[in-house]
Amino acid sequence: MKKIMLPLTDETVCSLKTGDRVLLSGYIYTSRDAGHKRMCEALEKGEKLPFEIENSVIYYVGPTPAKDGQIIGSAGPTTSGRMDKYAPVLMQKGLRGMIGKGERSDQVVKAIKEYKCVYFGAIGGAGALLSQCVKSNESVAYEDLGAEALRKLYVEDMPLTVIIDSFGNNIYEIGRENYLKSKT
Amino acid sequence: MREINVEKITDAIENMCIEANLYLPKDIKCALITSQKKETGQIGKEILGDIIENFKIAEKSQIPICQDTGMTCVFFEIGQDVHFVGGDLYQAVNEGVRRGYEKGYLRKSVVGDPVLRGNTGDNTPAVIYTDIVKGDKVKITVAPKGFGSENMSQIKMLKPSDGVKGIKDFVLKVVEEAGPNPCPPMVVGVGIGGTFDKCALLAKKALLRPIDTENPQKYYADLENELLEVINKSGIGPQGFGGKTTALGVNIETMPTHIAGMPCAVNISCHVTRHKTQVI
Ligand code: SF4
């Protein structure tokens, strides 16, 4: 597995190919449905986002509450498709990576190619395992959204798979084809 | 007549909510371990390894297996000689859910209105089903259901002339359309017969039966095996990244239906298929 240190550079993004298994380390932001809606509303009004979006990575997650002494609760990915409406404009503003699970719309794939971004998959349902990679967790904005608040996490060796690379190749198509070909 | 104080129900539900979210049932664990050995897709094999590691960490570190700790489905089999005392049964159930989700640090994922939304803040209300059976015992099953997979479920009012082929085609279509979204490997619950509503309930109940058991009727046991085999030839694989292990199990439940119909419901679940049962 390739080790990747954030922030993402052009070189790293271009070197990542669909199906690559990587261990990601660095600062990432968390956001899901309600947070995305707010960010896009802010952009529409010409307001600034509450974090530096240039070259950033967003993790689509709504964790379980942390117990005392825990950094974060169970923290696996949520279905990315629900953020499709908002993702292209964020990529246009500088977002470089997204972490989630499941298919993306054609518009999102188009934006991934256009802005040279990458869509990573975290294992859906592996919230306990993924929580262990989170080393720090601080609130950035939208506290009132509870599990959906915008947070900044430091992750270490977070196991991910490249689902859609910056060339638009998609593991959901290629992985399946390759497997079926290997069977014939 | 046996009296049972509903406080007992509250306590039981509280514990079951917490345990169901921390400990994966044995049949699912075994199926994951066996599938990993048999998986031939390279990424698929690694993913299954991580999924196995995940349920182990959940147990050891007491962290929910998945962050979607679900909408709480509660199934009762109530002996007809039981008399509940000390309060309202449904309120007692919801109180148990409230406490379990708070004390267990589980995520509150229920909105009070389907259109107007608004989180209820305590994961209530639960979805509650009651069956009346013989005897003086109460059997309770708590099954937290995540919506990544619930959203991929479908129902179809098939015609009698569609026959078993219609059922097979429909189940495969649902699995195919679900693709990577329900966090495969999935567990597939199929309900056949009854009415529109009853058929969906059969599919949900099919997910409560351990996947290492078979439908008692040979015809349907064979159909379960056949469907599992075909699904696992689709190539979707763990997480949809390609591989053999698309589903861990297919369970079918049936009941009589009308001369003019053959309803079929497919309830999709994931590798975090949780349920906990207790008899009081
Ligand atoms: S579908 Fe299952 S494994 Fe996936 S996020 Fe939902 S509950 Fe968790």
Please check the confidence at residue A145 and state whether its pLDDT lies above 90.
Answer: no
Please check the confidence at residue B161 and state whether its pLDDT lies above 80.
Answer: yes
Please check the confidence at residue B40 and state whether its pLDDT lies above 80.
Answer: yes
Q: Minimum mean pLDDT among B3-17, B25-39, B113-127, B195-209: which range? A: B113-127
For residue A121, the surrounding DSSP H or E stretch is: strand A118-121
Domain count, chain A: 1
Please check the confidence at residue A146 and state whether its pLDDT lies above 80.
Answer: no
Backbone angles phi, psi at B221, to 5 degrees: -60, -40
Mean pLDDT over all residues of chain B?
A: 97
Q: What tokens appear for A146 in the block? A: 């509870």
Taking residue B103's Cβ as centre, other Cβ atoms within 10 Å add up to: 12
Q: Residue B30: what pLDDT?
A: 98
pTM of the full predicted structure?
A: 0.95
Q: pLDDT tens across B56-83, in order?
A: 999 999 999 999 999 999 999 999 999 9
Are B180 and A103 in contact (CB < 8 Å)?
yes
Taking residue B85's Cβ as centre, other Cβ atoms within 10 Å add up to: 9
Spell out which residues of chain A touch residue B105, defining contact as CB-CB under 8 Å. 64-67, 73
Please check the confidence at residue A147 and state whether its pLDDT lies above 90.
Answer: no
Handedness of CA B21, B25, B30, B32 (dihedral sign): negative
Please check the confidence at residue A71 and state whether its pLDDT lies above 80.
Answer: yes
* Average confidence (pLDDT) over B21-28: 98
Q: Residue A1: what pLDDT?
A: 86
The whole-angstrom distance between B247's CA and the closest CA on chain A is 15
- Complex ipTM > 0.95: no
Backbone angles phi, psi at B117, to 5 degrees: 60, -155
Residues of A marked active site are found at 36
Q: How many CB pairs under 8 A join A and B?
A: 154
Taking residue B214's Cβ as centre, other Cβ atoms within 10 Å add up to: 15
Q: What tokens appear for B60 in the block? A: 């050891």
Q: What is the DSSP letter of A123?
A: P
- For residue A170, give the CATH number of its domain: 3.20.130.10
* Average confidence (pLDDT) over A71-85: 95
B237 touches A175 (CB < 8 A): yes
Q: Residue B142: what pLDDT?
A: 98
Please check the confidence at residue B217 and state whether its pLDDT lies above 90.
Answer: yes
Residue A140: give the domain boundaries: 2-182
* Average confidence (pLDDT) over A111-135: 97
Please check the confidence at residue B114 and state whether its pLDDT lies above 90.
Answer: yes
DSSP annotation string for B56-89: HHHHHHT--SSS---EEEEEEEEETTEEEESS-H
pLDDT band at B229 (very low <50, low <70, confident <90, very high): very high
Ligand 1 center–CA B72 separation, angstroms = 14
Spell out which residues of chain B touch residue A171, defining contact as CB-CB under 8 Å. 43, 240-242
